[in-house]
């Protein structure tokens, strides 16, 4: 239990949307990059998350030094720590992104490996749900912590110093996972299992032929493709609303607190009472409401209220889409197909970020209101696709997280 709590806290700190996020955006903005250029650089960091299914396949089928999990966990967290340490000496945006790609590769693969260890230990002890609750709790505690600390660093230090300090602090997270792996992960040595390889290959071929899987994949892609305004909103808050960096970081923490409450509301009041289809309809409506609410962002008070409210109600669509993905996975290929659906989710999210930033900079003359209305319209358009979804009533999400980069 200690191991899982430590690892999920470290992942919350180490991912691109963690502690490094705000100091990095602040530094790139100070270098004169526009919001769409920043979005393009961030999109590169999603590539290691899009190919997540490969990490699971490799660790399942090809042991490293006799271990399927332990050796890979040690190696990939070492790679992430090295990437953050390298970043502390960099100033050029392109090289900074190169270092962050290494960190993303390490964090993304570690995420898959730890989930595999969690499932294996959970099945042996009957504590999967307990492990999952620890995962969400520590991940959100990390999100609250990084929001506060990232904002403070960005306000208190010059942009380059804030970025390098954040990178140095973040490097401690994967380094701690390396130490924990060495002492807390117990795994028997194994060799390549060719029988399991053939079984896995057959299951994957069956999954690819699943019509249900393709329909759900298409819906998830469309749902997440509406032009987002994450990077433009940061520029809008700094340039137009004149919010300081510390306050922007606090808004991130407030949003994470709302997300914790939203996850509880979903589990306690929604997950067991509504069908997956009903939850999808509710999610589209809530998604549209949470998007259009940003039209009322005008001062600090409204920003706090909006951050908390959208963090809370935004968890319902998020967890619903995870439930939809989990329910669509065919038997005997659940792990790979769920990871593949999350890769599609992540890829569409980054295309959304690129498109939204491009519209903001080059089409909408840096006006937030038209971008908000455009995003809302695309969200509502998903209503027309729901009738094509198969009737799925599967389990609640397993705790798999799409990337927050």
For the chain, the C-alpha Rg in angstroms (whole number) is: 21
Locate tokens 């409210």: which residue? 309
pLDDT class of 394 with cuts at 50, 70, 90:
very low
Q: Judge whether 396 lies within some domain.
A: no
Q: Judge whether 402 lies within some domain.
A: no
Distance CA 143, CA 165 (A): 18
**pLDDT(94) > 90:** yes
pLDDT class of 396 with cuts at 50, 70, 90:
very low
For residue 327, report the phi and psi dihedrals to the nearest 5 degrees: -70, -25
Q: What's the mean pLDDT in 354-368?
A: 95
**pLDDT(61) > 90:** no
Strand partners, 64: 67
Distance CA 395, CA 400 (A): 13
How do residues 297-308 score in pLDDT, each as one tens digit? Answer: 999 999 999 999
Total number of residues shown for the chain = 405
**pLDDT(102) > 90:** yes
- Residue 356 belongs to domain spanning: 2-388
Q: Judge whether 401 lies within some domain.
A: no
**pLDDT(27) > 90:** yes
pLDDT class of 236 with cuts at 50, 70, 90:
very high
Q: Judge whether 395 lies within some domain.
A: no
Number of domains, the chain: 1
pLDDT class of 337 with cuts at 50, 70, 90:
confident
Indicate the burial class of 290 (C-beta count within 10 angstroms; 0-12, 13-18, 19 or more).
Answer: buried
Cβ count near 8 (within 10 Å):
28
**pLDDT(405) > 70:** no
In sequence order, which residues have a C-beta less than 8 Å from that of residue 18 and are 6 or more positions away?
12, 142, 143, 146, 150, 170, 404
Q: What's the mean pLDDT in 179-201?
A: 76
Q: Which of 321, 228, 231 is nearest to 280 (CA)?
A: 321
Cβ count near 61 (within 10 Å):
15
Per-residue CA distances from 403 to 254, 326, 381 (Å): 20, 17, 24
Q: How many alpha carbons fall within 13 Å on the CB side of residue 73?
A: 29
Structure confidence at residue 8 (pLDDT): 83
Strand partners, 67: 64
For residue 366, report the phi and psi dihedrals to the nearest 5 degrees: 60, 35
Q: Judge whether 398 lies within some domain.
A: no
Q: What's the mean pLDDT in 161-165?
A: 98
In sequence order, which residues have a C-beta less than 8 Å from that of residue 162 and are 6 or more positions away?
23, 26, 27, 153, 154, 156
In sequence order, which residues have a C-beta less than 8 Å from that of residue 254 and are 6 or more positions away?
147, 304, 307, 308, 311
pLDDT class of 123 with cuts at 50, 70, 90:
low
pLDDT class of 238 with cuts at 50, 70, 90:
very high
142's tokens:
């990390």
Are residues 374 and 306 in contact, defined by beta-carbon separation less than 8 angstroms? Answer: no
Structure confidence at residue 17 (pLDDT): 85
End-to-end Cα distance, the chain: 27
Distance CA 304, CA 309 (A): 9
Least confident of 157-171, 175-189, 285-299: 175-189
Give the global pTM.
0.85
pLDDT class of 196 with cuts at 50, 70, 90:
low
What share of the chain has pLDDT > 90, as a percent?
A: 52
Indicate the burial class of 91 (C-beta count within 10 angstroms; 0-12, 13-18, 19 or more).
Answer: exposed
Distance CA 199, CA 62 (A): 15
Q: Judge whether 397 lies within some domain.
A: no
Helix spans in 267-403 (H): 276-292, 300-328, 334-358, 368-381
Furthest CA-CA distance within the chain? 62
More confident residue, 173 or 193: 173
pLDDT class of 326 with cuts at 50, 70, 90:
confident
**pLDDT(34) > 50:** yes
Local structure of 67: helix, strand or coil? strand
Q: Judge whether 394 lies within some domain.
A: no
How do residues 76-86 score in pLDDT, each as one tens digit? Answer: 999 999 999 99
How do residues 243-290 score in pLDDT, each as one tens digit? Answer: 999 999 999 999 999 988 988 888 888 877 888 889 999 999 999 999
Least confident of 109-113, 122-126, 154-158, 379-383: 122-126
307's tokens:
């951050």
Q: Judge whether 58 lies within some domain.
A: yes
Mean of pLDDT over the chain: 86
- Report the CATH number that the domain containing residue 219 is assigned in CATH: 1.20.1250.20
Q: What's the mean pLDDT in 159-165?
A: 98
Q: How many alpha carbons fall within 13 Å on the CB side of residue 107?
A: 35
């Amino acid at each position: 239990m200690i191991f899982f709590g430590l690892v999920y806290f470290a992942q919350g700190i180490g991912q691109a949307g963690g502690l490094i996020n705000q100091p990095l955006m602040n530094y790139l903005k100070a270098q004169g990059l526009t919001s769409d250029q920043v979005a393009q650089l961030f999109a590169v960091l999603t590539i290691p998350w899009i190919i997540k299914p490969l990490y699971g396949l490799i660790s399942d089928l090809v042991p490293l030094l006799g271990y399927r999990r332990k050796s890979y966990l040690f190696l990939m967290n070492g790679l992430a720590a090295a990437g953050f340490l390298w970043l502390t000496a960099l100033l050029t945006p392109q090289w900074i992104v190169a270092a962050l790609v290494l960190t993303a590769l390490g964090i993304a693969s570690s995420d898959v490996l730890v989930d595999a260890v969690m499932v294996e230990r959970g099945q042996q002890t009957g504590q999967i749900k307990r492990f999952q609750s620890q995962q969400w709790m520590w991940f959100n505690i990390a999100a609250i912590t990084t929001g506060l600390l990232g904002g403070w660093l960005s306000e208190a230090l010059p942009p380059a110093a804030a970025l390098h300090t954040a990178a140095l602090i973040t490097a401690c997270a994967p380094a701690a996972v390396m130490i924990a792996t060495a002492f807390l992960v117990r795994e028997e040595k194994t060799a390549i299992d060719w029988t399991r390889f053939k079984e896995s290959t057959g299951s994957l071929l069956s999954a690819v032929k699943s019509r249900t899987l393709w329909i759900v994949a298409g819906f998830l892609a469309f749902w997440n493709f509406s032009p987002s305004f994450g990077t433009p909103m940061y520029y809008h808050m700094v340039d137009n609303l004149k919010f300081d960096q510390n306050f922007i970081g606090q808004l991130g923490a407030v949003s994470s607190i709302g997300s914790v409450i939203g996850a509880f509301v979903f589990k306690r009041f929604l997950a067991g009472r509504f069908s997956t289809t009903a939850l999808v309809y509710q999610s589209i409506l809530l998604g549209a409401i949470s998007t259009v609410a940003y039209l009322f962002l005008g001062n600090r008070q409204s920003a706090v209220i909006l951050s908390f409210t959208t963090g809370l109600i935004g968890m319902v669509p998020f967890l619903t889409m995870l439930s939809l993905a989990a329910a669509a996975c065919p038997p005997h290929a659940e792990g790979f197909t769920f990871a593949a659906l999350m890769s599609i989710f992540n890829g569409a999210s980054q295309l959304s970020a690129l498109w939204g930033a491009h519209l903001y900079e080059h089409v909408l003359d840096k006006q937030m209101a038209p971008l908000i209305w455009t995003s809302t319209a695309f969200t509502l358009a998903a209503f027309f696709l729901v009738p094509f979804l198969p009737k799925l009533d599967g389990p609640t999400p397993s705790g798999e997280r799409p990337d927050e980069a």
